Structure formats: C-alpha cells, structure tokens
A and B are shown apart, each in its own frame.
Chain A
C-alpha cells in the first residue's frame, strides 16, 4: 500500500490553556484508503487527541465538518486529499467571522439565530386536510436547489457582508431558507416573509459578491435565491 506524508498547519486555540491562538505544524501518514481530508484529520486525532473539530456523517449531508481549508471554506469529508499539491502544507482554520470556541470549532449561535429569524417552517393556517396537500411536480421542482441546504455555514462565513453585520444581515444560508418557504406553494405567509426581509440590512446587505455560490459544498446558489426574493419584492411594489 502506498503511503504519503501530509503536512498540516492547524489553527489551535484552547482557552483553557492557551493565551492566544497559534498555528501548529503537524504531519501524518496517510494511505490509499484515506481519500478525504476528514480521513486524515481522524488519523491526526489518533496521534494528538487534543485537536478539536466537529464531524459526524462523513458523507457531506450533516454539515458538521465545515472549516477553512487553504483559505477556502469547505467540508473536510468532501475534500479530496488528492486535490492538495505535493510539498505544500495544508492550512486549516476555523470558519471565519464566528467566535472560536476551540481549535476548528466555532460558535454558530449567530448563524442559527439568523436562520431562525426567517421563520424556517411552513406556515399554513387552513385546517389541515385529511390527506396530503396537493402540489404538482412542477411546483415541487421549485424547491430543488433550496431544500437541500445542510446548514454547514460555509456560505455565510465566507460572505463579507455577514462578517460585517452578522447580527443584522440574514446571510446567504438564511436567505436561501427564506426563499425555500416563499417558493413553497403550500406556504401562505409570503407577504409576511417579504415584510420580514424588507430592510436595508436583512436582505439588502447582499452585494452579490457570490462567495456563497463559490464555496457551497452542495452546489446550491443562494445568490440566485436572493435575486428571486428581490424580484418578488419589486413585483409586489410596482
């Protein structure tokens, strides 16, 4: 079995022991069974059990292991080890723009607060019918590219507008979720949802920088969803 040594520079900070954060140089041997960055991180943790990072499904659906990999946000479990150039250290940092709890683990409170602020649930005040609410395949197709979000926060934490106003700008993930409910024919709260976003900060801090589209590990396009929300507001206003 062929092995290869990977060199890492990992952001380390344990408020219990460290006065300030530092980059740790550490390397690990991987073999051909280790395909993804997460495989290497698990091996690293076997070597030094104090490296802290989140992980769970290891197949890109739970959204736990988002981090900043060589300067770009992504999921460790979907990042190919083969994609790293030989000889250059792999630099791992926590997601930017959120407070660090420890090492690669960030405090996502603000991110989820914004997600919750758009009322991320179906609102339909009609008495529920006995059977399913009907929806044509075409209407259902409107939700594709929206409902698949895994809330990993790669997008929002790569967005300069979110870095600057994390308390006021909903951010790409939250806005994608907002449009997911606006686009759902079963939802009756479109007007309230648009009202909730009609504000110089909440929606309109998006300056179509499109970092969100660039980093989304699920290939979703929050900018497009944001554009559709804006278009609906214009349609409503004129």
Chain B
C-alpha cells in the first residue's frame, strides 16, 4: 500500500460534541450525588441501597455510566491515536478498549439491577 498521510475521517465533530455532552451529564450526576450524600443518603448501607435502587436514581446512574464509557472511549482512543502509530496494533487496542468499556458498563448495570 502507498504511504500517505491520511486525514479526513468525518467524525471529529460528533466525538467532540459527544465528549462535551457526556461531560455535562457526568457533572450533573456528580452534583446530584453530592446533594444526596450531603442529605445523609450515605449514612448507612440500607439508606445507600434505598437511594440507588430507587427508579429515577437507577436510571440516572445508568445514563452516567454510559456517558462515562462514551467519554472515556473518545479520550482513550485519542491517546492511542497520539502514541500508537502501527495501524494493526492501534486497531487491536481500539477493540480491546471497546470490549473493556462495554464490559464495565455491563458489569455496572448488572450491579445496579441486582440491588
């Protein structure tokens, strides 16, 4: 294959936007969490469990986890793009990152819905 400097993959904006939106979601969730903790929700295991198993909170946590993984995906991928030059290796790392992040998300959900 000829060696060319390849640019022009049309996903710059989407990811940039996604990172900002997920950041806002995570910040909001952090705020909610801080308020909940301040109001004593973390005082005992029962109260903590009650908080996390409530429907709206469960949904919020779920959205947070998905945002976190998506955000991390863009960030980690950028790191691979900056530091790993061979295309094959980079692709492998991308796949591993995706598997790990999806795995984390699934694990987190499993925990959430087990409560």
User: In the complex, are there CB atoms of A and B closer than 8 Å?
Assistant: yes
Binding site for B on A (CB under 8 A): 164-165, 167-168, 195-204, 230, 233-234, 237
Contact pick for B5, options A167, A195, A203, A230, CB 8 Å: A167
Inter-subunit contact B9/A200 (CB<8 Å):
yes
* CB-CB nearest 4 A-B residue pairs: A204-B12, A200-B12, A233-B13, A199-B12
Give the shortest distance, in Å, between A207 (CB) and chain B (any CB).
9
Q: Are A202 and B7 in contact (CB under 8 A)?
A: yes
Main SS of the interface on chain B?
Answer: helix
Complex contact A204–B13 (CB within 8 A) = yes
User: How far, in whole Å, are A203 and B16 apart by their CA atoms in the complex?
Assistant: 10
**Do B11 and A200 touch (CB < 8 A)?**
yes
Q: In the complex, how many residues of chain B place their beta carbon closer than 8 angstroms to a beta carbon of chain A?
A: 15
| Given A204-B16, A234-B13; 13 other pairs, CB 8 A cutoff | A168-B5, A168-B7, A197-B12, A198-B8, A199-B9, A199-B12, A200-B78, A201-B81, A202-B7, A202-B8, A204-B13, A230-B13, A237-B17
- A230 (CB) vs chain B CBs: closest residue: B16
A164 to B15, CA, bound (A): 20
A196–B10 alpha-carbon span in the complex (Å): 9
Contacts of A199 in B (CB 8 A): 7-12
The answer, yes or no, to whether B46 is at the interface (CB within 8 Å) is: no
